[in-house]
Amino acid sequence: MAAQPTFLSAIGSVGSSASRTGEEQLASRAQVGVFEIASEIVSGEPPEDVTRQEFPMDFSKARTVIVLRPAPETVGSSEAISQIDALMGGVEDETVPTRFAYMAARAAIGFAYSPRRLGVPYIVPKLWATTDDVGGIRLLWTFRSKRLIANFGARAELRTYIYYESRKEHGGDTLDGESLRRRLDWLTQR
């Protein structure tokens, strides 16, 4: 038990006194984005932009303490993929994506959201899936002052790229699963 993380809720209940089942439930919910990790309770002065943080504490029954608070609207991979799938089925105001764009978007999301490649728990703000006028897919995330766009061209000859923007910087990246995962990390970091 000593090596297990202890989860504290946002209202300050100490996880070490909670049942193992309760901890597992919290951990599970954190992974799907119901909570994000914060440090308000321990530090007293919550860093405004910190979304996940582990810090060692001298608790008798736990070595690592994680404080959880309700996360902003977030989704896991299945919900992200279901948004892309929905476009193929036809969504109001949207062009039906090409199969080329659909396959590329699905593959990139599948890779970038893979639990094996993400820190646990990992918070990804809810994405918005839309299309351009020729059937390319555009995935958009916003988090605080940051904006991230993954643009999947409708055809091979059309551009597929990442665009990122914050108050301090903006730019473009090539788009694949790995680069998208890195930019999602950037999106949620301070």
Partner 1 sequence: MADAAIGPNRDFLEADPLFRVLKKKKWLNLDKLPEAFMLGTGETGLSVCYNCRAEHAQTVANLDSEGVARLFHGPVTAINALIDGQQTFLTVVPDAPHHAEIQGIPHKEHDNVEAERLAGELARIAIVVIQNHYRRIDAGNG
Torsion of CA 97, 103, 108, 114, to 10 degrees: 120
Q: Which is nearer to partner 1, 30 or 127 (CB)?
A: 127
- Report the helix count and the strand count for the chain, using DSSP H and E: 5, 9
DSSP state, 159?
Answer: -
CB 15 within 8 A of CB 57: no
Total of chain residues touching partner 1, rule CB under 8 A? 22
- Is 113 or 164 the residue whose CB approaches partner 1 more closely? 164
Q: Which is nearer to partner 1, 155 or 182 (CB)?
A: 155
Candidates 61, 99, 117, 170; binder of partner 1 (CB under 8 A) is: 170
Q: Is 134 in the site for partner 1 (CB under 8 A)?
A: yes
Residues 42-101, interacting with partner 1 (CB under 8 A): 92-94
Amino acid (one-letter) located at 77? S
Q: Three-class SS of residue 40?
A: helix
CA neighbor of 139 nearest in space, from 73, 89, 85, 90: 85
Among 161, 176, 177, 179, binds partner 1 (CB under 8 A): 161
Q: What gap in Å lies between CA 135 and CA 128, rounded to an integer?
A: 16
| Minimum distance, C-beta of residue 149 to partner 1, in the bound complex (Å) | 6
Residues forming contacts to partner 1 in the complex (CB under 8 A) are: 92-94, 128, 130, 132-134, 138, 140, 142, 147, 149, 151, 158-159, 161, 163, 165, 170-172
